[in-house]
Amino acid sequence: MKAAELFIRCLENEGIKTIFGIPGEENLDMMDALLESSINFVTTRHEQGAAFMADVYGRLTGKAGVCLGTLGPGATNLITGVADANMDRAPIVAIAGQAGTTRLHKESHQVLDLVNLFRPISKYGVQINEPENIPEIVRKAFKVAQIEKPGCSFISFPENVADMDISGKEPLKVQTPLPPIPPEEKLEQAARLISEARHPIIMAGNGVIRAGASDQLVRFAETLGIPVATTFMAKGVIPFSHELSLGTIGLQSHDYVSCGIDRADVIICAGYDIVEYHPYLWNKEKSLKIVHIDSSPAEVDEGYIVEVGAVGDIGAALDGIASKTKRDDATPFTASLRQAIVEEMSENSEDTRYPVKPQKIIWDLRQVLKPDDIVISDVGAHKMWIARMYQAERPNTCIISNGFASMGIAVPGAVAAKMAYPDKAVVAVTGDAGFMMNCQEIETAMRIGTPIVILIWTDSEFGLIKWKQMSKFKRHSNITFTNPDFIQFAESFGAKGYRVKQTEDLQSILGQAIQDDTVVIVDCPVDYRENLKLTEKLGELVCPI
Ligand SMILES: Cc1ncc(C[n+]2csc(CCOP(=O)(O)OP(=O)(O)O)c2C)c(N)n1
Ligand SMILES: [Mg+2]
């Protein structure tokens, strides 16, 4: 068989059902070999869309999402989505065609050193120079991408190698290594520290979701009566409705949930990545005692000096520590704080002023979605509001990019989420600027039949940047633009569009959009005067505990 066929067989062997991408001249053999395979190729309208689809697919399923582009510009177009996946710890395998090995040593049409280009944004990167290495390369790429901490593997596939014949080679057996159980001694040390703590608190990160250890986390918190704050990327790891939940932490401002950390003496960081929330923002005095429970040793940071580290299987660590800890007083110290947080959530639930307040949009969205439905946020002011106020009840139901935090993830991400979970309603929540960065994927969604709702918070501005400029300089610069008519835009793709003309209609429009069972844009004018009001409110916050 041809090397390209062996390559596709190896992808099938990894359980790959879908590849997102755009064909090119230098991957002709791969595209042709796909015709004989069980793998579905989703042709996107931009390689960035393909990379974001693979990113969200990987994040939701734990299996590497696969994206493909051609050499040169096809590969560079993949980069933003790949970097996003790599920094958000989503498993992804990115594949690019490459020129033949006979012209890689010199100036040559569309040729870039792709392995080097992808190096800072991948865990493993390699060029296939010999067909016989394909089974090892593909196996290694998937293994490295999927093991903790997950990220990107990049494969460059020169066209002359793809066209070569190869015989006697088979895909390698897929093996998934299990994380080791952390040493008993470390669990005991952690238990001792927590037993002696007056006000311990948990900060849970995305690692807990990746480890499938949300139940263990909740059990740990309940057994020991310890409140839980989650990072943006860990939303839903404990249901917001749980009395021990303090909601989400990660805003730069001192938020309600920060009051809990201020009062804590020991912080139990489980599956937490500092990429999400700088320790200097929550451990200014460097006085908190840190218990680090994670799949790998802690990053070095002067604000994150670990007292006890339990490295390995997160669920086993949580169970082990809980069984060894004795707390004399297991009443959570944060009851009044939780009450203030819960009350704030519904403060604007009846507010019908127009344009719609961020808090009200989120409230209404929560009302129409079931606990297992999925929201994918884009990046902007709307993301801050969603992180703060969207009440997630289950892990992986509110997807936020908070490592690389690239605009443009929501629309392609929603397409991938709908492919992964066809029975769940999927809503992309996006700013008007981020929407326009990957709106071309509406065509992909219509063509492949993935019904999604795209809820645009329209302000004709880079809302988040205006918020920051106003906070810092009390004036703003270069943040305004105009939008197309989003309704006509949707209709031009054969999709549907609704404009929210009065706040009273929002909830029924959202409900209808989900029912419509096609791609639907909901254009919702937003009142971002609330942004600076929130900054002022949090600036004057008197902690309720
Ligand atoms: C690709 C990319 N470019 C620029 C930024 C910096 N940035 C973060 S938020 C933002 C504005 C987002 O505007 P919009 O999508 O309208 O959302 P809004 O803040 O108005 O809710 C910008 C420019 C980014 N995160 N990603
Ligand atoms: Mg905007």
C-alpha 408/C-alpha 341 separation (Å) is 30
DSSP 26: G
Over its length of 545 residues, how does the chain's per-residue pLDDT go in tens digits? 999 999 999 999 999 999 999 999 999 999 999 999 999 999 999 999 999 999 999 999 999 999 999 999 999 999 999 999 999 999 999 999 999 999 999 999 999 999 999 999 999 999 999 999 999 999 999 999 999 999 999 999 999 999 999 999 999 999 999 999 999 999 999 999 999 999 999 999 999 999 999 999 999 999 999 999 999 999 999 999 999 999 999 999 999 999 999 999 999 999 999 999 999 999 999 999 999 999 999 999 999 999 999 999 999 999 999 999 999 988 999 999 999 999 999 999 999 999 999 999 999 999 999 999 999 999 999 999 999 999 999 999 999 999 999 999 999 999 999 999 999 999 999 999 999 999 999 999 999 999 999 999 999 999 999 999 999 999 999 999 999 999 999 999 999 999 999 999 999 999 999 999 999 999 999 999 999 999 999 999 999 98
Mutating to test ligand 1, I would choose from 357, 382, 400, 462 the residue with most ligand atoms within 8 A of its C-beta, which is: 462
**Cβ neighbours of residue 242 under 8 Å, at least 6 residues apart?**
218, 221, 228
Q: Is 541 exposed, middle or buried (0-12, 13-18, 19+ CB in 10 A)?
A: middle
Three-state secondary structure call for residue 226:
coil
CA-407 nearest atom, ligand 1? 26
pLDDT of residue 342: 97
Flag whether the pTM goes above 0.85. Answer: yes
| Angstrom distance (rounded) from CA 448 to CA 423 | 16
**502: alpha, beta or left, given left = phi > 0 and alpha = psi -120 to 50?**
beta
- CA of residue 409 to ligand 1 center, whole Å: 11
Q: Is 144 in the pocket of ligand 1 (CB under 6 A)?
A: no
Distance linking the first and last C-alpha atoms of the chain: 69
Return the C-alpha torsion angle 44, 525, 387, 247, nearest 10. -140
Give the ligand 1 atom nearest the CA of 432.
16
CA 228, CA 293: separation in Å to the nearest integer? 14
CA 451/CA 417 separation, integer angstroms: 11
Query: In whole angstroms, what is the distance from residue 368 CA to residue 508 CA?
Result: 8
Q: Which residue puts its alpha carbon closest to atom 13 of ligand 1? A: 462
Does the C-beta of 457 come closer than 6 Å to ligand 1?
yes
DSSP-derived 3-state class of residue 436:
helix
Q: Judge if the beta carbon of residue 377 lies within 6 A of ligand 1.
A: no
541 lines ligand 1 (CB under 6 A): no
Residue 103: the pLDDT is 97
Cα 216 to Cα 177, 221, 308, 322, 508: the distances in Å are 20, 9, 19, 10, 37
Q: Which two tokens stand for residue 228?
A: 């839980």
CA triplet 539, 463, 47: central angle to 5 degrees? 130
Find the angle CA(305)-CA(311)-CA(313) to the nearest 5 degrees. Answer: 145
* Any atom of ligand 1 within 6 Å of the Cβ of 527: no
Rounded to 10 deg, the angle between the 3-13 and 134-146 helix axes is 30
- The token pair at 78 is 């993949």
Amino acid at 24: G
Question: Which protein residue has the closest C-alpha to ligand 1 atom 23?
Answer: 462
Q: Residue 19: helix, strand or coil by DSSP?
A: strand
What's residue 329's pLDDT?
Answer: 86
The neighbour count for residue 353, using CB atoms within 10 Å, is 11
Q: Determine contact, residues 145/152, Cβ cutoff 8 Å.
A: yes
- Dist CA 201 CA 417 (whole Å): 32
- Compute the Cα dihedral for 270, 93, 455, 459 and give only its sign: positive
C-beta of 315 in contact with ligand 1 (< 6 A): no
Distance in angstroms (rounded) separating the CA atoms of residues 413 and 49:
8
The pLDDT of residue 330 is 85
Ordered DSSP codes for 352-364: --SSBPHHHHHHH
In this structure, what DSSP letter does residue 119 have? Answer: G
Alpha-carbon span 299 to 308, nearest angstrom: 14
Phi-psi region of 231 (alpha: psi -120 to 50; beta: other; left: phi over 0): beta
Nearest ligand to residue 458 Cα: 2
Q: Which sign does the torsion angle of CA 243, 372, 59, 379 carry?
A: negative
Can you read off the two tokens belonging to residue 111?
């040729």
Tell me the ligand closest to 469's alpha carbon. 1
Q: Report the alpha-carbon distance of residue 94 to residue 64 in Å, rounded.
A: 10
Rg (alpha carbons) of the chain, rounded to whole number: 24
Spatial CB neighbours of 175, under 8 Å, sequence gap ≥ 6: 143
How many angstroms does the Cα of residue 483 sit away from the middle of ligand 2?
10
CA 43, CA 23: separation in Å to the nearest integer?
8
